């Protein structure tokens, strides 16, 4: 009846933890029950282990084509698989060309299907000058759209002004897709950074002061007002402050179709980490000071943040070098796409939160919001057999050997987590084992048949 059966594991869903067997046929989960009474050619004994839905990371930056020396689909997907991530969505910037028209989308899809070992979706971009491309991007298979309200750092993907943002939101609403926003006030951050440079103040404290919480809140408030005008579903990426969380939740209570994510690095690290470790801990928005970080952690604990995403934003090591302590000019992105599920479990342990909540943060909620829930994010009959088997008794320490990204340059290096990934399956195919590492020769699929509507 089954191609393989996982037996005796503790299956973790968004509702419960229970001992169960999982039967898989043709890459699909066919049965989840206390005891499957038939045998299979391959049987996996998961006694003492926990089986989670493969994580869905909707925010990664694989810079291929064009900047594969930063990160590519092969190395990036291997890194994700090692952390129990079985589906990702690649952002439209950092590659050359950026994914701002149908031709670029299809080009990136071909590269991804030839190199990724896990399944993936693709974002389309909203930039100045591509308003007429939005409808064709949506029809060609873009999962959703992304825009910046402040400079992206790459000239190929410019931030949108207010008029382009309003018109873009109107058109995206007509496609039925979601618009994700990097919400920081561009004029203010640019002005503050220039003032610091003129004064010769370019250290860690200076960088933090150029991107205060207030610039995040202002941009969020403005975007929500535009959403009310246009009816565009919104998603805010990498929210770093409890103040912004509160504004978004108030808007949702008032009827705005909006969700938000935060990233593991905002929960696990603070501004002190930037001062200690340097530019490997630089990101935008920046890591916050400890009192602000604690407020964000509390918002996560209380369920006011929808889910986690890594915002894996790697670069070549030279771009992280700080000349004469200059943090302002170092690349602003954190490499850590394989850490999302492990970080969620660490946070849940630290705050004594049930594992069922970690399933919502890492799999169920992102899949629901971005139209992937008909296949991804749950352990149920009929779903893709995307499964991550973890030991909660064997800790994991990040090393250059097990990081698997293009460059082992990360704030996560030498960090320890209370759980470790033992094996990972994508549509029933083994893509990672702790003993052998990522499995070569497996092919991920582009999830272009995005048929489910976005939900809150």
- pLDDT tens by residue, the chain, 456 residues: 899 999 999 999 999 999 999 999 999 999 999 999 998 989 999 999 999 999 999 999 999 999 999 999 999 999 999 999 999 999 999 999 999 999 999 999 999 999 999 999 999 999 999 999 999 999 999 999 999 999 998 888 999 999 999 999 999 999 999 999 999 999 999 999 999 999 999 999 999 999 999 999 999 999 999 999 999 999 999 999 999 999 999 999 999 999 999 999 999 999 999 999 999 999 999 999 999 999 999 999 999 999 999 999 999 999 998 888 899 999 999 999 999 999 999 999 999 999 999 999 999 999 999 999 999 999 999 999 999 999 999 999 999 999 999 999 999 999 999 999 999 999 999 999 999 999 987 789 999 865 445 555
Q: Tokens in use for 366?
A: 């992102």
Q: What's the alpha-carbon Rg for the chain, to the nearest Å?
A: 21
Residue 362 and residue 266 in one domain: yes
Residue 375 lies in a domain: no
Task: Report the relative pairing of strands 4-12 and 17-25 from DSSP bridges.
Answer: antiparallel
Residue 62 and residue 128 in one domain: yes
Closest listed residue to residue 95, CA positions, set 81, 83, 109: 109
> Which of 340, 369, 398 is the endpoint of a domain?
369
3 state SS for the chain: CCCEEEEEEEEECCCCEEEEEEEEECCEEEEEECCCCCCCCEEEECCCCEEEECEEEEEECCCCCCCCCCCCHHHHHHHHHHCCEEEEEECCCCCCCCCCCHHHHHHHHHHHHHHCCCEEEECEECCCCCHHHHHHHHHHCCCCEEEECCCCCCCCCCCCCHHHHHHHHHHHHHHCCCEEEECCCHHHHHHHHHHHHHCCCCCHHHHHHHCCHHHHHHHHHHHHHHHHHHCCCEEECCCCCHHHHHHHHHHHHCCCCEEEEECHHHHHCCHHHHHHHHHHHCCCCCCCCHHHHHHHHHHHHCCCCCEECCCECCCCHHHHCCHHHCCCCCCCCECCHHHHHHHHHHHHHHCCCCHHHHHHHHHHHHHHHCCCCCCCCCCCCCCECCEEEEECCCCEECCHHHHCCCCCCCCCCCCEECCEEEEEEECCEEEEECCCEECCCCCCCECCCCCCCCCC
Question: How far are the Cα atoms of 137, 154, 317 from residue 410, in angstroms, in the given order?
Answer: 33, 21, 10
> Which of 310, 335, 369 is the endpoint of a domain?
369
Residue 177's domain is classified under what CATH number?
3.20.20.140
Residue 136 and residue 10 in one domain: no
Residue 329 and residue 213 in one domain: yes
Q: Please state at what angle helix 213-230 crosses helix 186-198, rounded to 10 degrees.
A: 160
Residue 446 lies in a domain: no
Q: What was the pLDDT predicted at 454?
A: 54
Residue 286 and residue 310 in one domain: yes
Residue 358 and residue 426 in one domain: no
Residue 247 and residue 395 in one domain: no
Residue 344 lies in a domain: yes
Q: What are phi and psi of 281, to 5 degrees?
A: -105, 15
Residue 284 lies in a domain: yes
Residue 144 lies in a domain: yes
pTM as predicted: 0.96
Can you tell me the distance from the alpha carbon of 177 to that of 339, in angstroms, rounded to the nearest whole number? 28
Residues paired with 146 in a beta bridge: 125, 180
**Domain assignment of residue 348, given as a range:** 53-369
Tell me, rounded to whole angstroms, the distance of Cα 362 from its chain centroid: 9
Residue 406 lies in a domain: yes
Residue 377 lies in a domain: no
Residue 226 and residue 320 in one domain: yes
Contact 240, 266 (CB under 8 A): yes
> Which of 369, 399, 420 is the endpoint of a domain?
369
Residue 128 and residue 242 in one domain: yes
Residue 272 and residue 135 in one domain: yes
Residue 15's domain is classified under what CATH number?
2.30.40.10
Closest listed residue to residue 144, CA positions, set 112, 111, 113, 122: 122
Instruction: Give the number of domains in the chain.
Output: 2
Residue 182 and residue 288 in one domain: yes
Contact 444, 116 (CB under 8 A): yes
Residue 411 lies in a domain: yes
Residue 18 and residue 59 in one domain: no
């Amino acid at each position: 009846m089954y191609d393989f059966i996982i037996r005796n594991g503790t299956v973790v869903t968004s509702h419960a933890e229970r001992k169960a067997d999982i039967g898989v046929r043709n890459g699909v989960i066919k049965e989840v029950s206390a005891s499957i009474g038939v045998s299979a050619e391959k049987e996996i004994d998961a006694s003492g282990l926990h089986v989670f839905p493969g994580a869905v990371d909707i925010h990664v930056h694989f810079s291929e084509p064009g900047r594969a020396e930063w990160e590519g689909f092969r190395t990036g997907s291997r890194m994700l698989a090692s952390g129990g991530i079985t589906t990702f969505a690649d952002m439209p910037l950092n590659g050359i060309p950026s994914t701002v028209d149908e031709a670029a989308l299809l080009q990136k899809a071909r590269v991804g299907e030839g190199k990724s070992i896990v399944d993936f979706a693709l974002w389309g971009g909203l930039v100045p000058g591509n308003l007429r491309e939005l409808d064709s991007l949506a029809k060609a298979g873009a999962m959703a759209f992304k825009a910046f309200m402040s400079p992206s750092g790459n000239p190929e993907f410019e931030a949108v002004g207010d008029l382009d943002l309003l018109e873009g939101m109107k058109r995206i609403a007509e496609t039925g897709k979601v618009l994700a926003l990097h919400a920081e006030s561009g004029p203010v951050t640019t002005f503050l950074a220039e003032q610091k440079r003129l004064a010769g103040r370019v250290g860690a404290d200076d960088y933090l002061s150029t991107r205060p919480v207030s610039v995040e809140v202002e941009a969020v408030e403005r975007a929500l007002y535009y959403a009310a005008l246009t009816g565009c579903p919104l998603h805010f990426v990498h929210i770093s402050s409890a103040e912004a969380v509160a504004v978004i939740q108030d808007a949702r209570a008032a009827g705005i179709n909006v969700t938000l994510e935060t990233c593991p690095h905002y929960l696990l690290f603070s501004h002190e980490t930037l001062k200690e470790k340097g530019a490997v801990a630089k990101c935008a928005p920046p890591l916050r000071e400890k009192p602000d970080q604690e407020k964000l952690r509390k918002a996560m604990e209380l369920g006011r943040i929808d889910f986690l995403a890594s915002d894996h934003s790697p670069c070549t090591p030279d771009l992280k070098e700080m000349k004469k302590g200059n943090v302002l000019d170092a690349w602003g992105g954190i490499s850590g796409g394989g850490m999302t599920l492990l970080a969620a479990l660490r946070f849940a342990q630290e705050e004594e939160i049930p594992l069922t909540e970690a399933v919502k943060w890492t799999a169920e909620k992102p899949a629901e919001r971005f139209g992937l829930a008909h296949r991804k994010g749950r352990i149920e009959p009929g779903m893709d057999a995307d499964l991550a088997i973890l030991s909660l008794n064997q800790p994991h320490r990040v090393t250059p050997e097990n990081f698997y990204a293009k460059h082992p340059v990360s704030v996560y290096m030498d960090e320890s987590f209370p759980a470790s990934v033992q094996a990972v399956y994508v549509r029933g195919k083994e893509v990672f084992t702790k003993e052998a590492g990522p499995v070569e020769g497996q092919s991920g699929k582009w999830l272009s048949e995005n048929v489910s509507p976005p939900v809150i």
